[in-house]
Structure 1
């Protein structure tokens, strides 16, 4: 029996004429149903019960609002906000001046408490009560275990992770003191939402998968559009116009960079023109997924800079072999540590210097958390959304990237998608057919591609007709 290294040996890959899957515009983003929001609340209440938590406070601001939005359906945009939920199911929304109007629209029914302290600087502070009094008057803290939820699960072995908080001090301090004064305790409970072992947001139902597929496929379409527009003389800013679409909110800072990146500490697209032989990268992301591609602005190997003429063999093909291995090997029931070891075998870290997790969960955020790390015993489950996120770093060479996302869905979940979202199901079947017949990549039945560019890797960006291809023996 062949080893993974033999199956995905670099000699089995080459640059060939390969068509890309022509995107079909999806103008129907899926709205999350009332049933989904009821299910989310029920999942939280059960998780609280299982973990002995009596009361949770979910913090939100513009950048860190996904856990809050998971239950309410909205984020506080430019203010701060907090949602308190008791084990009884009772909920309170603490909102600043400009988000009070959102309370009637919340997908979770909750009492409104106005908190001017959550408003922008120098806005009216029309109350004579402290933040402590506002919170304590609204909440019974007596003997309760309090969970404070920000946006990060800490896993450092050097700290008491339950006492590390990523929520502003002025809020944490009050909640800790109120809990202690009433015979309870306060702890970081973000793992209830995001922890890879049972976090309620780490798996999704059919409605949620359809909702997130819209953003994942839109990101893919945008990046493919940029790749198809790359020409000598076009500027980063011109090309980057295609990385936004339909006013949808980004979950990452868009990247459109030619040549050397980060000069003068600039991380945004510049008025810099594309030149022959440039390194080039493009990335964008929306709710549900990110798409990223990188390579060289050339038609063929002869146009590469002299010192990187072996780019395909040294960087691009080894990377793509790992992507193919990831796609072919991932399945429900495998441990995150197994997937990590597969990538380590096919693309040894010592040689290719990747340092982040080779795969992670995604949702409203680009990176929710990750079950893929050394010795991870976390089981990959039906309903998980995962990004292929392998980032090699070979000194002197441009990067290689074909980052996109997939969903894992068991037979029951696949049937629910087929019945309730037939258009989505047709897109999934079309993508799987393309991946198998055109790219020669065999997916397990539970692997659902969430965009049209899953598995597609074009390293020479001026050559729009060729891509890397796996030659299965």
Structure 2
């Protein structure tokens, strides 16, 4: 079983500027999408985006519609048309990407002008949507058999868009959900990341982890959630979720935003901060040790948190390029003491610009983890005894020898940080890592169960 030991967390550092993503990367992504369309027998793909669901559009174009919505139309002949609302006319992708741009004002906010654009049906018809054409709709989710009828034809983007497509193609059958092209766990286009994208995710992870580290360092009785939340700072990067910070009873609602509640000794706490490509979470007790715990937790919490870390260690030891996701799931389950806690969700998932793309980590999954995968160690342990909490969520990338060499060459400072994090996890925490596992967080697997004693953290029992 894992134990608590003396651990010094070094300062791994960070870059000052977000690494650039070359324009050619977006061209390659669009070309790959068109090739996948041809493989899937699609003539046209319609990618929908709004403020919450913009990851696939941003992946393809570097553009997200902020206050508005947007539609990207692609066909197999190479045509590329981006429909935007009023305000996004002043916030468009790089012209060198070669997208045609058209204003469609129903993508604008309510009350704004609607007299300067063509009807949607006319735009779609001119693009080639017509009888017999096979159209795929891409949003943020696809469906599987069981809970919805005809899952291939169940589409999550706005109904008026789907209705127009089906009217023009003369039937329901020609229009289907194509989100899996980008998000399915086996070969979704967004789940294999380039060396430059990985460097951007590493940059984001240094920001999220350093923010959470500062919050944890300033946890003390009397500290307010609101004051501590002001220490979370993404340096202007877009957030992938709302900031989270809760004490005491409020921590039972773990997704809650910070309020004016103040910490008391013995409280449970939980906090998380996410930016595009990264999220860091920590949870534990506001105290120095078991003596600060309520009587109901004094014996339970040490066993609970130690076994949680056993599962964390098992996850890190099982993931690698070529690993079968179901085997990772099984390793976590084998380490978990079922009398102490159960998982809230899957033991990990893919991350991208959106915080959760998909999870391959299910019982019996045959998904093979690929080089370039960005993953979250996201084991959320729900206590089966008295209420308490622990969490050490961080991100990693899997990279084969070739990708590691490219990363070291193109982004040497990031590579040095990754090597230092690997050494810390192995030498200080006792976690065995495959060579393909690249930690991105600046507090990698560092979890002090009692936040008032940060010199002591959980370590693997070697």
Fold shared by both chains (TM-score > 0.5): yes
Q: Does 1:444 align with 2:440?
A: no
Q: Does the Cα contact within 8 Å between 2:251 and 2:268 map onto a contact in 1? A: no
Q: Distance in 1 between matches of 2:104 and 2:184?
A: 30
1:424 alignment partner in structure 2:
414
Partner of residue 106, structure 2? 117
Q: 1:80 is matched with which residue?
A: 69
SS at the partner of 1:260?
helix
Q: CA deviation at 1:331?
A: 1.2
For 1:368-407, list aligned pairs within 5 A: 368-394=357-383, 395-407=385-397
Contact 1:74 1:106 in 2 (8 A): no
Q: CA deviation at 1:338?
A: 0.9
Q: Which residue of 1 aligns with 2:460?
A: 470
1:212–1:178 CA distance, 2 compared to 1 (3 A): same
Q: Is this contact kept in 2: 1:103–1:110, CA < 8 A?
A: no
The answer to whether the 8 Å contact 2:246/2:269 transfers is yes
1:257 matched to 2:231? The reply is no
Change (3 A) 1:365 1:176: same
Closer/same/farther in 2, CA of residues 350 and 231 from structure 1, 3 Å limit: closer
Maintained 8 Å contact 1:80/1:119:
yes
CA contact 1:71–1:107 (8 Å) conserved in 2: no
| Matching residue within 271, 292, 295 for 1:282 | 271
Contact 2:49 2:64 in 1 (8 A): yes
Question: Is 1:304 aligned to 2:290, yes or no?
Answer: no
Q: Verify: 1:143 aligned to 2:128, yes or no.
A: no
Q: How far apart are the structure 1 equivalents of 2:145 and 2:443?
A: 36
**In the alignment, is residue 164 of structure 1 matched against residue 154 of structure 2?**
yes
Q: 2: CA distance between counterparts of 1:199 and 1:393?
A: 30
Distance 1:14 1:209 in 2: 32
Residue 196 of structure 1 and its aligned partner are, at CA, apart by 0.8
Q: Which is worse superposed, 131-140 or 362-371?
A: 131-140
2-side partners of 1:387 and 1:100: how far apart?
35
TM-score, scaled relative to structure 1: 0.93
Structure 2 partner of 1:319: 308
Detail structure 1 runs of 4+ shifted over 6 Å in the superposition.
262-266
For residues 273-316 of structure 1, what are the alpha-carbon distances to aligned partners after superposition, in whole Å with 9 as ceiling and x for unaligned? 11111111110011111100001100011111111002443321
Offset of residue 263 of structure 1: 8.9
Q: Which residue of 1 aligns with 2:115?
A: 126
* Aligned position for 1:3: none
Determine if contact 1:72/1:106 at 8 Å carries over to the other structure: no
Equivalent in the alignment of 1:185 = 174
2:17 aligned residue (15, 28, 46): 28
Structure 2 unaligned segments of length 5 or more: list them: none
Specify which of 428, 439, 443 is matched with residue 453 of structure 1. Answer: 443
After superposition, the C-alpha distances for 1:204-237 in whole angstroms (9 at most, x for unaligned) are 1111111111112211111111000111111000
Q: Is the contact between residue 284 and residue 391 of structure 2 (CA under 8 Å) also seen in structure 1?
A: yes
Contact 1:299 1:461 in 2 (8 A): yes
SS in 1 for 2:279: strand
Q: Contact 2:23/2:97 (CA < 8 Å) preserved in 1?
A: no
**Distance change (3 Å), C-alpha of 1:211 and 1:469:** same
Cα 1:184–1:302, aligned 2, differ >3 Å: closer, same or farther?
A: closer
Contact 2:48 2:138 in 1 (8 A): yes
2:56 paired residue among 36, 45, 67: 67
Q: Which runs of 5+ in 1 are unaligned?
A: 1-9
Supply the RMSD in Å over aligned alpha carbons: 1.9
Write the deviation string for residues 187-217 of structure 1: whole angstroms up to 9, x where unpaired: 0000000011211001111111111111122
Question: Are the aligned partners of 2:14 and 2:203 in contact in 1 as well (CA < 8 Å)?
Answer: no
Tell me the number of residue pairs that the alignment of Structure 1 and Structure 2 aligns. Answer: 460
* Cα distance in 2, alignment partners of residues 117 and 123 from structure 1: 9
